A and B are shown apart, each in its own frame.
Chain A
Amino acid sequence: MYVAGIDIGSMTSKAVIVSGGRVVAQAITLTGTGGSDVAHRVLEKALEKVGLQRNQITYVVATGYGRISVPFKNRQVTEITCHARGVKHLLPQVGYVIDIGGQDSKVIRLGPQGEVQDFAMNDKCAAGTGRFLAVMAGVLNVSLRDLGPLSEQSTQKVEISSTCTVFAESEVVSRVAEGTPVADIIAGLHRSVAERVYALLRTKMVRSPQVETIALTGGVAKNSGVVKALEEKLGATLAIPPQPQLTGALGAALIADDFAPSELIRSS
């Protein structure tokens, strides 16, 4: 029996196919403006990889901000729960999850069973999200994936406002005009994201970050510069899954795997 988790994020959509608690295929595609079409596309992409047919998927859990508009879902679960579930599977000893996605960042405190005990999300502001970095990459005319490596060449500290994406953007423009090296600006941006996320974490942190295992998930976890800035801020090393942006879809698929048998029996 195969089940799927589909995570429709603001920038990318992800699909993970699971069978008996084991991942068999996964796929990522840009969300774009296709509406519910992207859910089909990303699932097809994952199916193709292992030569499965659409009708072999018996149960689908949708998550992410676009979860409601996935037409073929059996159930929808929020990304908070799905990220926690995904992390529980990948990194069972974790106490906190920081997820930095395209349009929001969140902090989840996990209980002894890996369950959600508390959570916080950024409010009404793109600062501290992937979108913030995407906007800045655009301003600096560098590719998103180069931000991490470029920031490693930074030699001096540059402070960038962490409160507002629009203000930060005009700050970056002034820095460029002053002739500040791009590497330094990027490193400053990474610290600004780290600061924002750290502040969010502090609202839910019970003990000090040094004694907790903290996982970082979401696409931004692939940016080595943000990871470094956040680790410096925490004074601790982050646990990062091999494919951090698939964590939500994986959690959704695992929930689907748990639910499928009982739900299917009930409906038949």
Chain B
Amino acid sequence: MFEQFKNWFESRHDYAKDWKERTGGKVIGYFCTYVPEEILYAADVLPVRCLGGHEPQDVTEPHIFGMFCPFCRDVLAQGLKDKFDYLDGITISQSCLHLRQAYTSWDMHKPVEFSYYLPMPHHVQSLASRPFLRSELVKFKEAVEKWTGKTLTDADLDRGIEIVNTNRRLLKQIFELRKADVPPLTGLEAMYLVLSSQMTDKREHNKALKELLDQLPGRKVEREIGERLMILGSENDDVPFTEMVEDVCGATFVIDDHCTGTRYFWNEVIPKEDRLQAIADRYVDRVPCPTKDWPKRLRVDHIKNLVEEYRVQGVIVVQQKFCDPHELDIPAIQQSLKDIDVPTLFLEFDVTAPLGPFRIRVEAFLEMMRQDDLF
């Protein structure tokens, strides 16, 4: 049922190369989920997310500070090692400095025909962010038009919005099923859904999601569900870790807060006459990344709502080592979960997760939750 999504994720480069060949279209690599994919789909450009490769590498040391997060170094390594050699363009919207450094260095050493830095505002809680982002989207749209030689009409933008919104809606409907006592999909399977949606043509992805949505409610789940866990942090495409928690330790992830998960698709564009304003509003109002979530921490309440709705028993808080924005929020998140008696386990992630030591911590965490019979 999930093979297709897993294959898309695992063979992302083959997919993109094949897509180019069969459509003759352009592919753009994006570094952050604050990039408005609606405008790219409107221009018939395929956006694919630049994620890491989870392999040790030796190419980024001269270009990026060793105490920048392992994710941004891993992403840059993919560029420097020509893993994304099929890209026609790259783009980033402002989120954190570490990732921007990866983008800047990639741009410098592997120049492509289109490169765009979108100054997504940090202070999304200010009213001024809406007209500001709209004005930046005007420039972004113009740049994309110049690059592709195609003028984007309102009808094009509507089509772009519809493609991306449909994907969000379908993913959310599928995630809704995870609220059940016996969720019809595992955390790993859910992870494949979202990750693959970030690197395949969403029109194809939507078709596959619809088919999945038809089949899922009748799916028989053989495995024990165990504890209902949430996982949260910055990005997470660490398959071995997720597999270990679910297959070896016997728990199930029922929800997440990652930009490779729910943060990516939770909010839709709400249609408006002014299309670019509608898109801008969506990115201002979406579940924020910690770089945008101040002075109020709105994400904390969102996480608590998810915990309640998905009946989460414990939360694994993962952090990319040296990720400053998340480091700022993690103590507040852990405290607020503690206040509602939801235990948390903090783990620091690197390019590869040390599975042995993590297994002890996860098992001890689960024992702590089920220990009535151990004491």
Residues of A within 8 A of B (CB): 65, 77-81, 84-85, 88, 104, 113-119, 121, 123-124, 255, 258-259
CA distance A94 to B167 in the complex (A): 53
Pair B367/A81 contact, Cβ less than 8 Å? yes
List the 9 closest pairs (A to B, CB-CB), nearest first. Answer: A80-B364, A78-B364, A115-B375, A81-B367, A116-B368, A78-B363, A115-B371, A78-B360, A113-B375
**Cα separation A84 to B373 with both chains bound (whole Å):** 14
Q: Which of B360, B361, B374 contacts A255 (CB 8 A)?
A: B374
Q: Which residues of A contact B374 (CB under 8 A)?
A: 77, 81, 85, 115, 255, 258
Q: Whole-angstrom distance between the alpha carbons of A259 and B371 in the complex?
A: 13
B357 CB-CB contact with A under 8 Å: yes
Residues of B within 8 A of A (CB): 343, 348, 354, 356-357, 360-361, 363-364, 367-368, 371, 373-375
Taking a contact as CB atoms under 8 Å apart, the answer to whether B371 and A81 are in contact is yes
By a CB distance below 8 angstroms, the chain B residues around A114 are 375
Contact A80 B375 (CB under 8 A): no
Least CB distance from A42 to B in Å reads: 20
Contacts of A118 in B (CB 8 A): 343, 368
A78 touches B375 (CB 8 A): no
Q: How far is the CA of A259 from the CA of B343 in the complex (A)?
A: 26
Nearest-neighbour CB distance to chain B for A112, whole angstroms, equals 10
Whether B354 lies near A124 (C-beta < 8 A) is yes
A-B contact count (CB 8 A): 51
In the complex, what residues of A have CB within 8 A of residue B373's CB? Answer: 258-259
Given contacts A81-B371, A116-B368, contact A123 B360 (CB under 8 A): no
Q: Are B343 and A81 in contact (CB under 8 A)?
A: no
CB contact under 8 A between A116 and B371, given known A81-B364, A121-B361: yes
Which residues on B sit within 8 Å (CB–CB) of A119?
364, 368
For residue A157, give the distance in angstroms from its CB to the closest CB of chain B.
31
For A81, list chain B residues within 8 Å (CB).
Answer: 364, 367-368, 371, 374
Taken together as a complex, chains A and B put the C-alpha atoms of A79 and B363 apart, in Å, by 10
Q: Can you name 27 A-B residue pairings with CB atoms under 8 Å?
A: A65-B356, A77-B374, A78-B363, A78-B367, A79-B360, A80-B360, A80-B367, A80-B368, A81-B368, A81-B371, A81-B374, A84-B375, A85-B374, A85-B375, A114-B375, A116-B368, A116-B371, A117-B368, A118-B368, A119-B364, A121-B360, A123-B348, A123-B357, A124-B354, A258-B373, A258-B374, A259-B373
Interface centre among A78, A113, A121, A123 (most CB of B within 10 A): A78
A113 to B375, CA, bound (A): 7
Complex: A123 Cα to B371 Cα, angstroms: 24
Measured CB to CB, the closest approach of chain B to A156, in angstroms, equals 35
Contact residues of B: prevailing secondary structure: helix
Which chain B residues lie closer than 8 Å to A113 at the CB level? 375
- A65: B residues at CB distance < 8 A: 356, 360
Contacts of B348 in A (CB 8 A): 123-124
Q: In the assembly, what is the distance between CA of A119 and CA of B360, in Å?
A: 11
Q: In angstroms, how far is the closest chain A Cβ from the Cβ of B66?
A: 14
Q: Point out the residues of chain B lying under 8 angstroms from A115, CB to CB.
A: 368, 371, 374-375
Closest to B372 in A: A115
Q: How far is the CA of A81 from the CA of B371 in the complex (A)?
A: 8
Which of B354, B373, B375 has most chain A Cβ within 10 Å?
A: B375
Say how far B2's CB is from chain A's closest CB, in angstroms: 28
Q: Which residues of A contact B361 (CB under 8 A)?
A: 121
Chain A residues near B375: list those with CB within 8 A.
Answer: 84-85, 88, 113-115
CA distance A121 to B361 in the complex (A): 8
Tell me the complex Cα distance, A119–B365, Å. Answer: 8
Contacts of A124 in B (CB 8 A): 348, 354, 357
Closest to A68 in B: B359
Seed contacts A80-B368, A116-B364, A124-B348; 8 additional CB < 8 Å A-B pairs: A65-B356, A79-B360, A84-B375, A115-B368, A116-B368, A119-B368, A123-B357, A259-B373
Residues of chain B with a CB closer than 8 A to A104's CB: 357
Q: How far is the CA of A115 from the CA of B343 in the complex (A)?
A: 14
Docked pose: A117 CA to B375 CA in angstroms: 12
Q: CA of A79 to CA of B359 in the docked complex: distance in angstroms?
A: 12
A146 to B118, CA, bound (A): 63
Closest to B368 in A: A116
B367 nearest CB neighbor, chain A only: A81
Please name all residues of chain B whose beta carbon is closer than 8 Å to the beta carbon of A259 when the two chains form the complex: 373
Shortest A134–chain B CB gap in Å is 19
B246 to nearest A CB, angstroms? 17
Task: Please name the residue on chain A nearest to B369 by beta carbon.
Answer: A116
| Interchain nearest-CB distance for B333 vs A (Å) | 15
**In angstroms, how far is the closest chain B Cβ from the Cβ of A77?**
7
Instruction: Give CA–CA (A184, B361) in the complex, Å.
Output: 36
B349 to chain A, nearest CB (A): 11
**How many angstroms between the C-alpha atoms of A261 and B111 in the bound complex?**
69
Closest residue of chain A to B338 (Cβ to Cβ) is A118
Q: Whole-angstrom distance between the alpha carbons of A259 and B361 in the complex?
A: 23
**A-side contacts of B371, CB under 8 Å:** 81, 115-116
CA–CA, A84 to B375, complex, Å?
9
Bound-complex Cα distance A145 to B19 (A): 66
B residues near A121, Cβ cutoff 8 Å? 357, 360-361
